[in-house]
Structure 1
């Protein structure tokens, strides 16, 4: 008697509804892999277009805003499959790190404390965001590199419909598309200066975003083929630690620091742009509400 494999109705129905995602994802992979890497020399560096860039581009074109092959419901379902797709890649990074454990340990505390260095970007990014016209969106956009964990954190703290979440989501999308190109190019540019040791560049690649780390490591291994294994090991370990420590740094330092700087910088930059200040308007409204509350309490007591 032939034994049938039972599938829960919900799982079977979900597969039937989302089969298009799996089918086209496979097609995109084949197309992207067929194109391969495209290297464009730019000065001392090299601009490298990776297959993941073509895949992202194909995904954007097929979305509900362009060709409308995918609907918004399918786009939402596909977002949950990202972690499933990158799990084999994460496992490979762990194996590389374990195989080069001596190199990793020799890096010392630099790996552990490098996440603190990422806070420095806030002092540059936040004023630029405000000058471009962002308001509270700048808090979510500039508090960190804004990958999956940071986006989830901002959504939980401020709500899914908040300006902070919109800012974080915008950087998440742009980072996935533009960041892969930027990181690969930046890695070759910095490597060409011969200022930093290749191991340091490998550690710097692990910023808490697997897609960006992969782009940077791929570029560095082309520059330093003899150190490819060590660079990959340090980058993967750095990536893991950044993911672990980054969320706590964002909660206790990154977000409070960004909020404080926003309160200080938004009013003068708003005057510079000749537009109303969100901070001053909010404080004025809070003062009026507090005054109104005090008056109501006074009337009740009388």
Structure 2
């Protein structure tokens, strides 16, 4: 079984190809490839170094920002892969993208171990969990869309602001407007921006919100489930850092909220948020810039056609890279154990057992997704079985909860985002061609999705205790 490359953040199986890339050539990478060992060495060295540096707290008046090891990991990885002197070869960047997809499922497995013991709390917070989705689904439309109209992004505004634009958004917008439309290029721009900067932005915002002390940590945890695995992990990690005594509750709520967002997001996006964004855009522009589905406007203020062609040609030149699943599992397991030992300041064989179980869950989840042709996503399998292992009905719940706690949640995020950073160099030219307008619009979109959801959750928790 092999895992195939995809561009950007992976929130489901990590085995499908990118929605924005069609490969010109295929490259198989395994342990017999000397070049892969370069990537492995970089993953281990950068993630271990980032964990060794540890967190740094920057005071900002009444608030503060905590820069966790994952920030050093993704930043160093991006610098190594994207610097001009001797950038990481494109096939190794693509291989890192493949491994990143599997690493996200490892993170889901680790998160699932916190769900089982907290099932009673999740049931009690049920109404708040459902209501806070309003913030995720409409926060970007309420705040980011007017800003994009003010900056004159043109019809690309609709694609860039109806959600934070993860994988499913491509299919929604392509079907409604066409893949040559400005709306589709809006999705593309937000997708790339979120892939490169999303985890950093949401972690800084979550850190500020947590340091202010005006939100219940559980409300912030629900807000962390923005529909992106890496962004959710980044936000949850800083909330846990601020409230270490509530780690299990925060992680359980964040993971559940993220899963709900992912499941509901497709249906809400198709039937509610995308049509609403389109109508709101036409209202704000008085329909002057609106275009018919699939048609290119004469003047959109968005990315010029020449730049679009440059981006598409760059993407088409990327090779398709296949990495055997067992190779990805071993790489993540080895790097994860090294970083976990640094975080714990010691080694335990329970760490090995925990990673073996997580690897088995990931392999099983991908196998089920492949057999069912994606009808049963790997993330559902991984999180369901993982939650069962630690639930009150499991005969091994007590023992395995103790075993899984030897793996620091933050150490696994550091490994995952280091791998993500090493895959980002190939996406930097695309981001440059998009233009500066996506920076403020994308930042507001991510911030709005998190903060509005946290506000709704805060009120809902107040109503239901």
After TM superposition, the score normalised by the length of structure 2 is: 0.51
Residues of 2 paired with 1:251 and 1:17: CA distance?
Answer: 45
Relative to structure 1, the CA distance from residue 258 to residue 241 in structure 2 (aligned partners, 3 Å threshold; closer, same or farther) is: same
Residues of 1 paired with 2:90 and 2:26: CA distance?
Answer: 20
Match among 289, 309, 313 for residue 278 of structure 1? 289
Structure-2 residue corresponding to 1:55:
73
Secondary structure at 1:30's aligned position in 2? helix
After superposition, give the CA deviation of every residue in 1:78-100 in whole Å (9 maximum; x if it has no partner): 43432211111101111101121
1:243-258 correspondence to structure 2 within 5 Å: 243-258=262-277
> What is the CA-CA distance between 1:148 and the residue it aligns to?
3.5
> What is the CA-CA distance between 1:258 and the residue it aligns to?
1.2
Say which structure is richer in helix: 1
Contact 2:217–2:243 (Cα < 8 Å) also in 1: yes
Rg larger in structure: 1
Moved more, 233-242 or 222-231: 222-231
Larger RCO, structure (CA 8 Å, separation 6 or more): 2
Residues of 2 paired with 1:36 and 1:192: CA distance?
Answer: 18
Does 2:104 match 1:89? no
After superposition, give the CA deviation of every residue in 1:175-203 in whole Å (9 maximum; x if it has no partner): 34443343333334333444432222221
Secondary structure at 1:81's aligned position in 2? helix
After superposition, give the CA deviation of every residue in 1:35-76 in whole Å (9 maximum; x if it has no partner): 322221112322122333233323333346734523445544
Structure-2 residue corresponding to 1:165:
184
Structure-2 residue corresponding to 1:104:
122
| Ranges in structure 1 where 5+ consecutive residues have no aligned partner | 1-9, 269-276, 287-302
Match among 234, 241, 244 for residue 260 of structure 2? 241
Does 2:52 match 1:37? no
Structure-1 residue corresponding to 2:204:
185
Contact 1:96–1:229 (Cα < 8 Å) also in 2: yes
> What is the CA-CA distance between 1:107 and the residue it aligns to?
0.2
Relative to structure 1, the CA distance from residue 76 to residue 192 in structure 2 (aligned partners, 3 Å threshold; closer, same or farther) is: closer
> What is the CA-CA distance between 1:167 and the residue it aligns to?
2.4
Structure-2 residue corresponding to 1:147:
166
Contact 1:151–1:172 (Cα < 8 Å) also in 2: no
Structure-1 residue corresponding to 2:227:
208
Secondary structure at 1:109's aligned position in 2? helix
Over the aligned positions, Cα root-mean-square deviation in angstroms equals 3.3
Structure-1 residue corresponding to 2:247:
228
Does 2:88 match 1:70? yes
After TM superposition, the score normalised by the length of structure 1 is: 0.75
Structure-1 residue corresponding to 2:336:
none
Structure-2 residue corresponding to 1:296:
none
After superposition, give the CA deviation of every residue in 1:136-184 in whole Å (9 maximum; x if it has no partner): 2212211112234435644565555543333223323333444334333
> What is the CA-CA distance between 1:244 and the residue it aligns to?
1.0
| Ranges in structure 2 where 5+ consecutive residues have no aligned partner | 1-24, 298-465
Secondary structure at 1:220's aligned position in 2? helix
Relative to structure 1, the CA distance from residue 13 to residue 164 in structure 2 (aligned partners, 3 Å threshold; closer, same or farther) is: same
Contact 2:145–2:157 (Cα < 8 Å) also in 1: yes
Contact 1:45–1:185 (Cα < 8 Å) also in 2: no
> What is the CA-CA distance between 1:254 and the residue it aligns to?
1.4
